[in-house]
């Protein structure tokens, strides 16, 4: 296990700094792939004044902690094609994120063919870590935006084609103007708000991917997360 720092900086003077401590259990995933995953999530959130750091700093008294676990395959409670999920209690996100490394591996191989089996470890870490990082950024979005809802496009879209998940260009993984406004409204008032957010997060595991009112069909060459 290792700890990472996510610092949400106010978008204007006077806004609170919201610290989110990511406690990562990388399971059998290599250290390098875990690092690539976090770096990709950091790059996606950077334009919104969200800074992800892995510098081993001591936790802040006002930190929100998110637990991130690299697992193999998604469980029975999540839909086929899912590569990441976050727990929910009703419509409230819990601070527990799962990333399904084996499902990403199989999806990439199914899309690009058996030639991927000959990839050196560094190349596999880069490609699959990039996809996992985008899934992680999506789950962080659910937590920071305090919603299980999905968007039609951008970072908070439920389904993403495999080529989009692994391409170098990350411009498709952005927040909409309304999501940016929601981010500001939820996290810009005071440091005390971060304590309240942590206190409200309780209850049982429910993957946001298994939201009963919404059935998401997996298309060819696509995968989903939430």
pLDDT tens digits along 67-125: 899 999 988 777 778 899 999 998 899 999 999 999 999 999 999 998 999 999 999 99
Instruction: State the total domains in the chain.
Output: 1
pTM for the whole structure = 0.78
pLDDT above 90 as % of the chain: 52
Say which CATH number the domain at 80 has. Answer: 3.40.390
Question: Do 142 and 200 contact (CB within 8 A), yes or no?
Answer: no
Which alpha helices (DSSP H) does the chain contain, by range? 31-45, 101-112, 121-145, 162-166, 177-187, 191-200
Domain extent for 135: 2-213+220-224
Specify the DSSP element, H or E, that contains 161.
strand 159-161
Residue that is written with structure tokens 């999905």 in the block: 150
Name residue 7's beta-bridge partners: 19, 51
User: How many residues are there in the chain?
Assistant: 226
CA atoms of 26 and 163, how far apart (whole Å): 24
């Amino acid at each position: 296990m290792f700890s990472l720092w996510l610092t949400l900086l106010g978008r204007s003077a006077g806004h609170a700094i919201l610290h989110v401590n990511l406690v990562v259990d990388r399971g059998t995933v290599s250290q390098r792939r875990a690092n690539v995953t976090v770096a990709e999530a950091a790059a996606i959130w950077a334009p919104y004044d969200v800074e992800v750091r892995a510098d081993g700093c001591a936790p802040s008294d006002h930190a929100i902690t998110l637990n991130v676990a690299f697992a193999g395959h998604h469980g029975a409670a999540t839909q086929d094609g899912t590569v990441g999920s976050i727990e929910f209690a009703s419509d409230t996100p819990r601070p527990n994120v799962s990333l399904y490394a084996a499902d990403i591996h199989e999806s990439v191989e199914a899309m690009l063919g058996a030639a991927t089996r000959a990839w050196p470890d560094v190349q596999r870490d880069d490609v699959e870590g990039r996809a996992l990082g985008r899934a992680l950024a999506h789950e962080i979005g659910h937590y920071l935006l305090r919603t299980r809802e999905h968007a039609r496009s951008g970072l908070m879209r439920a389904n993403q084609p495999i080529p989009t998940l692994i391409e170098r260009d990350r411009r498709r993984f952005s927040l909409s103007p309304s999501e940016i406004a929601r981010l500001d409204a939820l996290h810009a008032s005071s440091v005390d708000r971060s304590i309240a957010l942590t206190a409200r997060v309780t209850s049982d595991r429910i993957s946001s991917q298994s939201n009963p009112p919404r059935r998401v069909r997996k298309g060819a060459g696509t995968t989903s997360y939430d």
